[in-house]
């Protein structure tokens, strides 16, 4: 993602950053306000302990997600600067890049370059998912899902506290159709905001989990999305080796932190195939 592609990528990147930033800020506000809400009307609960562990957990998950997102964007999986010497079996020719390209490599018309072991173009982060950044993509989804679930539970807790006087049906309706409840005057604006953000977190969490499960399964099977559609199993070398190929030699540790070094065993150009 460089040069003239920036203009095209700026809108989704900025929109994602603003939305993500707003949600993160909201969680911090909720986390600190929760003490106040829990203390209301409960004399013995006043002076709730500072939510130290929740804050540390949130900061760890957010830090992990942000650094994985940064590395996903900067670890370019493109063929720019990669020595592609000669054409062999399985190689193709890219008319846009005017060069021979190795197996599993495909041209991305959004990035305007060929991408090694290309999976798909991520519109939200404006970067292709390929050989170099698969690890960061999976870890970003994992930490993103954990952060979103945490934010969802915190917001839901505030909604429950604010709805103490109301019936269960009222609370359920508020969570299912918050806009309708606001329009017919059945809810105050602050309670509506908490309920709406709970829903946004829940939908985003389900979105992240869906992608995580699908791409986790693909990683286990040694396939890209295109190969999955084509039912191509020729690069499936067993789950352990498949995971090593995309997550690196320390595949069992990488989810802990993006700073853990885990060199990829291959070069993104040559791929071992399953013995017939």
Binder among 35, 107, 157, 241 for Zn ion (CB under 5 A): 107
Binder among 23, 31, 73, 97 for Zn ion (CB under 5 A): 97
Query: Per CB under 5 A, does 110 bind Zn ion?
Result: yes
Residue number with CB closer to Zn ion (52 or 109): 109
Query: Per CB under 5 A, does 1 bind Zn ion?
Result: no
How far apart (Å, rounded) are the C-alpha atoms in residues 120 and 128?
6
Query: Per CB under 5 A, does 96 bind Zn ion?
Result: yes
Q: What is the DSSP letter of 50?
A: P
Mark out the alpha helices in 93-229 (DSSP H runs): 134-162, 168-176, 178-183, 189-221, 225-229
> For Zn ion, what does the binding mask look like between residues 123 and 142, x meaning CB under 5 A?
-----x--------------
How far, CA to CA in Å, does 63 sit from each of 70, 184, 249? 11, 40, 23
Note if 139 is an active site residue.
no
Q: How far is the CB of 106 from Zn ion (least distance, A)?
A: 8
How far apart (Å, rounded) are the C-alpha atoms in residues 113 and 73?
15
Binder among 35, 120, 121, 157 for Zn ion (CB under 5 A): 121
159 and 177 in contact (C-beta within 8 Å)?
no
- End-to-end CA, the chain: 38
Query: Per CB under 5 A, does 120 bind Zn ion?
Result: no
Rg (CA), the chain: 23
Query: Per CB under 5 A, does 122 bind Zn ion?
Result: no
211: closest CA among 133, 115, 128, 144? 144
The two three-digit tokens of residue 59, written as one number: 């900061």
Q: How far is the CB of 59 from Zn ion (least distance, A)?
A: 31
Stretches 47-55, 58-66, 100-108, 161-169: which one binds Zn ion (CB under 5 A)?
Answer: 100-108
> In the chain, how long is the greatest CA-to-CA distance?
77
Query: Per CB under 5 A, does 75 bind Zn ion?
Result: no
Number of residues that bind Zn ion (CB under 5 A): 10
Query: Per CB under 5 A, does 108 bind Zn ion?
Result: yes
The two three-digit tokens of residue 12, written as one number: 């989704």
Residue number with CB closer to Zn ion (78 or 223): 78
Binder among 34, 82, 114, 200 for Zn ion (CB under 5 A): 114
Query: Per CB under 5 A, does 94 bind Zn ion?
Result: yes
> For Zn ion, what does the binding mask look like between residues 198 and 227, x meaning CB under 5 A?
------------------------------
Query: Per CB under 5 A, does 105 bind Zn ion?
Result: no
Burial profile 119-137: b = 16 or more Cβ within 10 angstroms, e = fewer: bebbeebbbbbbbbbbbbb
Residue number with CB closer to Zn ion (110 or 262): 110
Query: Per CB under 5 A, does 111 bind Zn ion?
Result: yes
112 and 5 in contact (C-beta within 8 Å)?
yes
Given the rule CB under 5 A, which residues bind Zn ion? Answer: 94, 96-97, 107-108, 110-111, 114, 121, 128
Q: Enumerate the active-site residues.
A: 122
């Amino acid at each position: 993602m460089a040069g003239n592609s920036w203009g095209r990528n700026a809108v989704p990147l900025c929109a994602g950053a603003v939305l993500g930033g707003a949600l993160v800020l909201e969680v911090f506000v909720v986390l600190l306000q929760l003490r106040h809400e829990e203390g209301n009307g409960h004399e013995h609960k006043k002076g709730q302990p500072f939510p130290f562990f929740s804050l540390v957990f949130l900061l760890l998950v957010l830090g992990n997600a942000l650094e994985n997102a940064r590395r996903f964007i900067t670890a370019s999986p493109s063929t720019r600067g990669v020595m592609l010497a000669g054409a062999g079996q399985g190689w193709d020719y890219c008319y846009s890049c005017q060069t021979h390209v190795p197996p599993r490599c495909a041209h991305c018309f959004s990035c305007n370059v060929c991408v090694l072991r290309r999976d798909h173009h991520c519109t939200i982060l404006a970067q292709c998912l390929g050989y170099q950044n698969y690890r960061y993509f999976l870890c970003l989804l994992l930490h993103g899902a954990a952060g979103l679930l945490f934010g969802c539970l915190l917001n839901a807790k505030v909604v429950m506290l604010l709805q103490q006087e109301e019936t269960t049906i009222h609370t359920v309706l508020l969570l299912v159709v918050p806009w309708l409840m606001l329009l017919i005057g059945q809810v105050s604006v602050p309670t509506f905001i908490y309920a709406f953000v709970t829903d946004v977190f829940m939908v985003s969490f389900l979105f992240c989990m869906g992608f995580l499960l699908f791409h986790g399964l693909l990683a286990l099977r040694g396939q890209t999305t295109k190969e999955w559609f084509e039912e191509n199993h020729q690069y499936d070398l067993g789950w352990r080796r498949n995971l090593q190929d995309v997550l690196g030699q320390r595949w069992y540790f990488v989810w802990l932190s993006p700073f853990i070094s885990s060199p990829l065993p291959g070069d993104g150009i040559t791929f071992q195939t399953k013995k017939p």
